[in-house]
Structure formats: structure tokens, C-alpha cells
Structure 1
């Protein structure tokens, strides 16, 4: 039996949207980690040699390998791009009918590689595997990772590193930048075909709308509002919210310089290339809105033949995003505080807590989990009193809706993780893996994929970093 059941609809789109290219074989493929749970979920069959298959040394039956073309505003600057080191093997159809992309990241040069070598290093690929699986466990919509295969070949970055290929599983790899690419090419046929394809995969209800392109824009806005609100709720900072990293499926994609916040500080930035703080934690909803405006621009020719009318309709659609996000953000933080109803003053209550957390340097994850567990605030003794005002307001709010504190805390345990992939732990695990020791990585992976129900042995992964362990910058790994 073939391991995959491929039916690649993307390969039937106009060829302006991709380039047909096969993965470049590697010297000595070796399976470093394989996601048995995800494989079972997708109904994957057996493979004689997963390492060779997922390194690109052998094409699975039914594969139609291609590199997708897309554009993107990177830190605000428009660029024509494409998969420079990733090859889509095909779309696997799971037994339940779900369709997912199977992509090899680090699979070699493509026509979009420009000056790149098309390869990836082991550390960044393990990082994506770890963080994407953690995000899935946290309940955040995300691409997932099926495997990491070591290539037996070096890659040269600032130093010589071991090479690897990641197998990424996604609802699709269609991005805002994919539409920008077709629009920039002024290829009406490709743009219309891409619209129909995307609606079929991600917003089938839009096909029946009077203006399908507008309906897709509205559906994408709703998905992105929900996604970014989830990021904010767990303290996740994407790091590179370029338009080529915003999917139409509403999944988180690209785990380059991403990181999780320790001490709560709204303007936290980790990405070494984000020198102006464009993609800081607090800016993420603003950037999501900005990216949606770029999607609207690309869709204008398909919204209405009258450009003025199209602009008016698109503008009205994207201007609803702040309200959509506000509703999703409040839902996240109400859940984190155990609130079962909505009151007008709830934003002020949440902001009161976040303000105290910021002023005291309180750990975000630890602070909310302490509330859920009824534990002491994870701050110095001198700062404990700073939370008294919030605690009184919170108790009064719970009383008004008739929720007993134990009932609120029972709900909060499912909304506030005890464990996140803390940056210092991730770096420690990757450093050990680079030396051939996968033990720390496997222990961390086991912990972060049980974020709401930690085991006793997971206790070390709950602690924020000591001063000398703090990670101040993360890197994209390209």
C-alpha cells in the first residue's frame, strides 16, 4: 500500500502559480523523529523507508512535486518570492476526506531559490517540529510536522551545520502573498483560478455568495482574528508576520524566529531581524489588519469590475477586522479569567491585570496558571501586594455573574497552560540535538504536548529562565 493518497488539485491550476521541480536527493538520509500520532490521524500507510521518502530521495507514488510561487510584503517592502527551499509533494486525502499538503522543507534548490542553497539546518527544522506540535497541543490553529530527516550533508550559514529536511503538513500553503503574486503579474486567469481553488478548500460557503472574492476576504478576516487572539492568549510572538506568512486557511505558518514571552511586556520582540519592533507582541493584531488590506488589494479585480465600487466594498470588509479581533481577544481572556458571561467592563479588568503583570515583571504563563491553581503570584514578595486591587475586582466580577471561585478555577485550568516551549529550554534541547543527544528534545516535546495537564516529571519545564538563561534574540534559520 502506498503511504500517501495523493490528489493534487493545486497542480491543476495555471502553471504561472508554481514551478514543477523534484526534491534534490541527499547523501545519507536518517530519520531523526517521526510523528506517529499525526501519521495515524492522517491514515498514512506503511513505507519501506520513511527516511528516503521524506528526504526527497525517492518520490512516493502519486506525487506531483512543485514549488509554489508567491509574493510578499516583508517588513513592509514588496518582493516577488516563491518556495526557495520547499517542495510540495502533493495533497494527501485522509480517510475522513480531509485534504492536506505534504511539503518537504529544505528539499533543495527551486527556480525561486535566488541565491539560496535550498537546504535547511537540523536545529531550525527541529525547532519548527517542536513549536508547531506545541501550538497544536495549545489549541492554536497551525501547520504541523510529520518528520525531520537528517541529510548527512552540511549546510553553511554563519557556521557549518548538519542539514535536515522537515515534512510539513498544512491545510494548504496558500498565502496572502500567493494572491499578491497573481495580482502583481496582472494574470486575471491565474487570479480567478486561485480564488476558486481557495474557496473550494477553505471557504466553500463563499462560492454561493453574490461576490465570492469579498466573501473569501471576510472569511479570512474572521480566521485571522481568531488566530491572532489565540497567539496573544498564550504569549506567542510570530516574529515574521510578512504577507507571505499569512495563510488563507487561518493556520500559523513559518516558525523561524518565533518565541514565547516570559515576563509580560507588550512590546517584546525576539526576532533578530525585527530591529524596529514591527512584529512585537502588541503589534500583531495591527499587522494582521495591515496584511488583510494587502489581500483586499489583490482581490479588487474579482470583487467588482468597477474599481471604485470594489475599493468601497473591500474597505468596508477589512475595517470590520478590529471589532472581530476585539471580540476574539476578549473571549480568550475571559476564558483565562474563568468568566462565563460578558460585561462591558471586562476589557478594563483584563488590562488591569496585564498592567500589574507588566509593572511587576510577572511571568505571563506562570501568572495566569497561578490564578487557575490558586497559587501565589510568581513575583517577588515585595510585589505581591500590587495584585490586591485586581484580585478584589476579579472576585467582584465573578460574584456578579454568580460563579464560585472553585468553579472558575476549574475552567481556567483548561484555558491557561502550565507549560509552553520556553525559549531557553528550546535552545538547550536544540543544542543537545546538534551534538547527537535527542534526549532533552524528546523530554521537552513530551512536556509541551501536554500543556494543560503536566506530569510531575514536567515540573522543570514550567519555570521561567534564570537571568543567565534568558534568550534575547531568535533567528530565522535560513
Structure 2
């Protein structure tokens, strides 16, 4: 056992007190030679952990699954999911929830090990993870946090000293993930499909208590739960779209009830603006393309609403009507968030009816000229309009004139608009070629300096400095970028 007073572990296990059908108690499988590769000192401190103590031999053993910290109650969660539209019975096949860390501020965070060995839900898999995908999740999740997008976060990555077999032999690793919870749309689908109505009610009440306590006294708290989840997801997906983030695998088991981004598998950031952009090697039909993400979120939320039908009203027909009415609100909510975000990206403070036409006109020109999404807005912010080919075109000149006229019609000063744009347009994102460069150095050569430098830059994405200019350059390769799920 580790000494919780040294490291700061302060576990509770509320999920373990739910019906046993919701999970399987399981310990991680020990590894032969764990080694700490990277530790998130800032995150550790924020949840009440001692970063120095976490680097000790005993603490690294905890992060590798070789030791169970005092107070933890390890388990693998059961859930279901529509995977590319097909419904499956799933669960944590390569993840173990150690328990819930209670921070000094009284906040509750799931502490999950990703890649710690087989569980009852592994479905023939080895339950392990490779170093590359775990470092990738660390980089992207921390970048998303810095971009002010709700996300699970990465506390640490340890290597196991063991190889795992995928297409080739790869170094094994375990990531420690921190989340508001791991409750998913798929969790509700699982209980709705294979549990009782009473178990569904228990799950919903637990979710409300954990994430939405302000609605506990509502007349129909399950309707309020549906409404609140829709609100959070509408805002989340808008934030994805505004920075050009593509999740890659928006299955219902990868949509959280808390509204956090989760499961950074074949994700990537868009370079040239194109709504049809897909990076995932398994998304051959483009189901989860950049342009489809808002619609797929709505589809997933409809599946969540379906799972709540028995709780919404005793009359099934009325329950369906209630659910449909709430789901119909999603498109409006998402669009409002997206439109407000796009106004901010263009330095617009007030609202005019024609703003959406102005925004879509720019996006149309960007698509036609394959302009880089991030750099177009970054350069508009800096007003150095000689950096991108798009800015020399007649179509852009016409749009630019309309935009300047629009800015002139608002009371706020030009400097205020520029400040708004700087706070709304990241100067740097996790460029795919930069991420690959960092991963190659770390995995192939044991050189973590490239990743550490990248993480330092990504920690301040809204700092528009010449010092970080090299991280805003677009890739020179014309070969289409592809990502893989890492399983």
C-alpha cells in the first residue's frame, strides 16, 4: 500500500457502490519494469497530489498498476455503444478505474489507468496500450485543456518494460487519465438495454448528484438531465468546430455525460479548411468528418434520449414526445454557440442578421483555395495579410472590404476587436506533423525533448508571438495524413 499522506491520494469509490451489474471489480495486471516517462505536475497539484512523491518507486508502481493505492477500489465499467452506427455490448476492455480522487477543494475526479491489462470486457484483446498512442493522448488532451475546451486530462505516462504486439512489436505503456467521470451515453444505453428500470433510475440519480446537483429538486429531474446534457454537448461540439478539431470516432461510448471530450484515438486538427476532412483510417465513409460532427452529436444525443424514455413519463408515447422536443433544441443551441464563436473569431461584438452570410462567405473562399483554417484566422488577427496566398485573391479582397465595413458599424474600437480575436483564435494548435515528430523522437529514439518543447508551446495557444511562429507552419508533405485508433 502507498502512504496516502505522502502522495496525496484521497480516494472515494462512489461508482463501486452502484449495482454490481454496472462494472466488474478487477485489478490491473502487474508489469515487469515500469518507468515514468512524463508527469503532469500542474494537474497533479490541482487535484491534491504531490508531484515529487509521484515520482517515487512506489508511486510509479501505482501508475503502472503494480500497486493499488490505499483507499482505491479498482473496477472496469460496463457500457454499450453505437460504433459507426452498429450497436454493441462493450465495456472497459483496456482500462481500470482506480477510484475517485477528492481534491482539497472537494471536487471529485476519476483516476483511470489506460492499458493496464485484460478485464472481463476485453473481448479477446490484451488490454494493453502502446507508448505512441498514450503519448498522443497526453499531448492532445493537454492541448485541448489549454484551448479552453472541456476534456479529460492526462496525469502521467509510464512505460511497462514489455512489448505489445499490434502490426509490429511496440513498447507498452500506461496512461493515467483524469476525468470528471467516465459516464457515457453508452453507459445509459447499457443499463437501458440489459438492466431494469430501477437500475436506470439509480444511474440517472447518480449522474445528477455527481454532475448536475442543481436539478435534483426539479419537477422532472430526468427531463432536466436530458436538457443539461444537450446543452453541454452543444457547447462542446461548437468549441471543437471553432478550432478545427476532428475527434475521429464519435461513437456513443465516446460521448460523456459531463460534457468533456474523451478518448483521443484517431483525432487530429484540420489544416486546409474542408468540411469533408477525415483523418481516421477506419472512417472510410466519412461518418465522423469535420463537417458531420455537429450532426453526429445530435444523433448520439437522440440515443441518450431513447435510453431515458422509461424515466421521462409513465406514458411511453408522451415520453417519446418529450424526448423529441428536447432533441429538437440541440441544433439551435449548437448553432448559437458556433455563431457566437465565429463572431468572436472575426472581432465582432454585436449581432447583425447578415453576420452568418459574412462568415460563410469567408469559409467558402477558404475552402475553394484550400486555405489553412487556423492560420487564416491567426493572420487576420495579426493583420499581416501577405502570409497566405488566399489574401491575394479577388474573392478575399471583396470579402475583406465587407468585413472591415462590418467592424466599422460596431461601437467597439479596432483595438478591442483585435483583442477579442487574439483571445478567440489560437496562434498554435497541435499540428499533426509536429505531433508525429514528437512521437517519433520519443518512441523511436527515446528523446522526450521534442515533445516537451511542443507541450510548452501548446500550453499557451493564444499567445501570438514570433517565438512560436515555427509551430504554426503547415506541413510540406502532400501525402494525406492518416490516424489510427491505437488499439
Deviation at 1:463, TM superposition (A): 0.4
For 1:36, the equivalent position in structure 2 comes to: 41
Deviates more, 1:190-199 or 1:370-379: 370-379
- Structure 2 residue 312 is the aligned partner of structure 1 residue 312: no
User: What TM-score do the two structures reach when normalised by structure 2?
Assistant: 0.96
Deviation at 1:407, TM superposition (A): 2.1
Deviates more, 1:245-254 or 1:404-413: 404-413
Pair 1:377–1:51, CA change in 2 (3 A): farther
- Structure 2 residue 75 is the aligned partner of structure 1 residue 66: yes
Deviation at 1:467, TM superposition (A): 2.7
Q: What whole-Å deviation, never above 9, does each CA across 1:19-57 have from its counterpart, x for those lacking one?
A: 000111111000000000001111114344332110000
Deviation at 1:385, TM superposition (A): 3.0
Gaps in structure 1 of 5+ consecutive residues:
none
CA contact (8 A) 2:366 2:390 kept: no
For 1:279, the equivalent position in structure 2 comes to: 288
> What aligned pairs does 1:7-406 form with structure 2 within 5 A after superposition?
7-45=12-50, 46-47=53-54, 48-49=56-57, 50-376=59-385, 378-380=387-389, 383-406=392-415
**Aligned partners of 1:443 and 1:385: how far apart in 2?**
39
User: What TM-score do the two structures reach when normalised by structure 1?
Assistant: 0.98
**Aligned partners of 2:387 and 2:121: how far apart in 1?**
48
- Structure 2 residue 442 is the aligned partner of structure 1 residue 437: no
Aligned residues: 477
Deviation at 1:410, TM superposition (A): 1.6
CA contact (8 A) 2:218 2:224 kept: yes
| Equivalent position SS for 2:261 | coil
CA contact (8 A) 2:390 2:396 kept: no
**Aligned partners of 2:286 and 2:387: how far apart in 1?**
27
CA contact (8 A) 1:367 1:377 kept: no
- Structure 2 residue 482 is the aligned partner of structure 1 residue 476: no
Deviation at 1:471, TM superposition (A): 5.0
Pair 1:186–1:52, CA change in 2 (3 A): closer
CA contact (8 A) 1:23 1:108 kept: yes
Deviation at 1:339, TM superposition (A): 0.9
Pair 1:12–1:144, CA change in 2 (3 A): same
**Aligned partners of 1:410 and 1:306: how far apart in 2?**
53
Pair 1:426–1:25, CA change in 2 (3 A): same
Name which of 459, 462, 472 aligns with 2:472.
Answer: 462
**Aligned partners of 2:373 and 2:136: how far apart in 1?**
22
Deviation at 1:383, TM superposition (A): 4.2
**Aligned partners of 1:17 and 1:477: how far apart in 2?**
26
CA contact (8 A) 1:192 1:302 kept: yes
| Equivalent position SS for 1:87 | strand
CA contact (8 A) 1:371 1:377 kept: no
Structure 1: which 4+ aligned runs deviate by more than 6 Å? none
Pair 1:225–1:5, CA change in 2 (3 A): same
Pair 1:471–1:129, CA change in 2 (3 A): farther
Pair 1:311–1:440, CA change in 2 (3 A): same
**Aligned partners of 1:411 and 1:144: how far apart in 2?**
27
| Equivalent position SS for 1:201 | helix
| Equivalent position SS for 1:273 | coil
**Aligned partners of 1:289 and 1:183: how far apart in 2?**
19
- Structure 2 residue 417 is the aligned partner of structure 1 residue 417: no
CA contact (8 A) 1:17 1:190 kept: no
**Aligned partners of 2:471 and 2:318: how far apart in 1?**
54
Q: What whole-Å deviation, never above 9, does each CA across 1:270-303 have from its counterpart, x for those lacking one?
A: 0000000000001001000000000000000011
Pair 1:413–1:364, CA change in 2 (3 A): same
CA contact (8 A) 1:269 1:281 kept: yes
| Equivalent position SS for 1:320 | helix
**Aligned partners of 2:386 and 2:301: how far apart in 1?**
38
| Equivalent position SS for 1:180 | helix
CA contact (8 A) 1:423 1:471 kept: no
Q: CA RMSD in A?
A: 1.3
Pair 1:397–1:455, CA change in 2 (3 A): closer
Deviation at 1:443, TM superposition (A): 1.0
